[in-house]
Amino acid sequence: ERAVARVVRHAVHASLDSARVVAWSPRPPADGPGGGPSSETRLSARLTPPALRPPEPLQATFSPGRESVDPAGSHRETLPLLHVVGQMSATYIVAEGPSGMYMIDQHAAHERVRYEQVIKARAATDGAPRQPLLEPVLLDLEPALAATMAGSVTHLESLGFEIAAFGEQSFVVRAIPPGIAGRDLADELRSFLARLGDERRVTDPFERAAATIACHSSVRAGTALSLEEMRALVRDLEATDAPRTCPHGRPTLVYLSSAALDRQFGR
C-alpha cells in the first residue's frame, strides 16, 4: 500500500510541477480535524508488495491534459462519468473514470459547486437566501477590514447578508448566507472580510464576494467524508458549468491515465 501511494504521489507532484496549468500559490493548510486518511479508505488486508523499480519521469505519461483542463473557447465544460473509490488524507476524493484515475480536491470541488449555487440563487426571482441571526453580531473592525466591508456592502447584501453601519468602523450583521457559520461568528466574519480584502485572483467585485462566500461555506481539507457524501459532491461537481477549476482558478482535479499506471508497474 505504501509503495503504491508513493508512486501515485510522485505522479501527482511531477504533473503539477511540469504542467503549470494555473499559476497559483499554495494555500496554507486548512483547519480541520485530523490529517491522515480515514479508516474507511485503508485496505483491510496487509499486503507486502513486490520490489518496485524506480518510477520513470512522468512528464509525458501523466498530465492534466484534456481530461482535467478546461478547453479554451468551450462554453460548458464536462466531466466523464466518475465512480468514487475512496478518500485520501481526508482531503482528496479518489475516483475511477473511463480510462484512468482522478484525484479530486474536495475543498476546491465544493467551492465550484457553492460558487455556482450562490450566483444562481442571486439571479433567482426571490433573491439569494438569507439566514437571520437570533442575535445580531456587532463587528468593531480595524480600518482595513472596515474599508473592505464598506466597499462590499452592496454586493454582500445581494448575496444574502443583511448589514448596517453602526459608526465609522462598526457594523451590525443581522443575516448571513446559509453555510457561513462557526463557534465564534464574529471571528468567522472577520476571517471572511480578511479573505475578501486579500482576494486578487477574481477582479470583479461581485464575483469576488461570491467566491469568498463559496470558500467559507465549503467543506475543508482534513474533513473525513462518507462514501455517500463523496458521491454527492462528485455528482454536484459534474453538474456545474465549469467543473475543472475552482472560482479562484485552481484545478479541482488531476488525472492519471491507465496507460501511465501500466507503465509504472511494468505492464
* Domain ranges, ordered by start, for the chain: 2-112+225-264, 130-176+180-216
- Per CATH, the number for 130-176+180-216 is 3.30.1370.100
pLDDT > 80? residue 132:
yes
What integer best gives the mean pLDDT of the chain?
78
* Mean pLDDT value of segment 18-38: 42
* Mean pLDDT value of segment 96-119: 95
> Could you tell me the pLDDT band of residue 153, with boundaries at 50, 70 and 90?
very high
Per-residue pLDDT at 5? 56
Per-residue pLDDT at 42? 38
Q: Which is more confident, 43 or 6? A: 6
User: In what order do the strands lie in the sheet containing 170-176?
Assistant: 131-140, 170-176, 162-165
For 170-209, what is each residue's pLDDT tens digit?
999 999 988 887 668 889 899 999 989 888 788 888 899 9
pLDDT > 50? residue 29:
no
Determine what percent of the chain is predicted with pLDDT higher than 70: 69
13-20 contacts at long range (C-beta below 8 A, 24 or more positions apart): 14/57, 14/58, 14/59, 14/62, 15/58, 15/59, 15/62, 15/63, 15/64, 15/254, 15/256, 16/254, 18/59, 18/63, 19/63, 19/64, 19/65
For 223-249, what is each residue's pLDDT tens digit?
999 999 999 999 999 999 999 999 999
- Answer whether 2-112+225-264 and 130-176+180-216 agree in fold: no
According to CATH, the topology of domain 2-112+225-264 is formyl-coa transferase, domain 3 (3.30.1540)
Per-residue pLDDT at 60? 34
For 39-93, what is each residue's pLDDT tens digit?
333 333 333 343 444 444 443 333 343 443 333 344 567 888 999 999 999 999 9
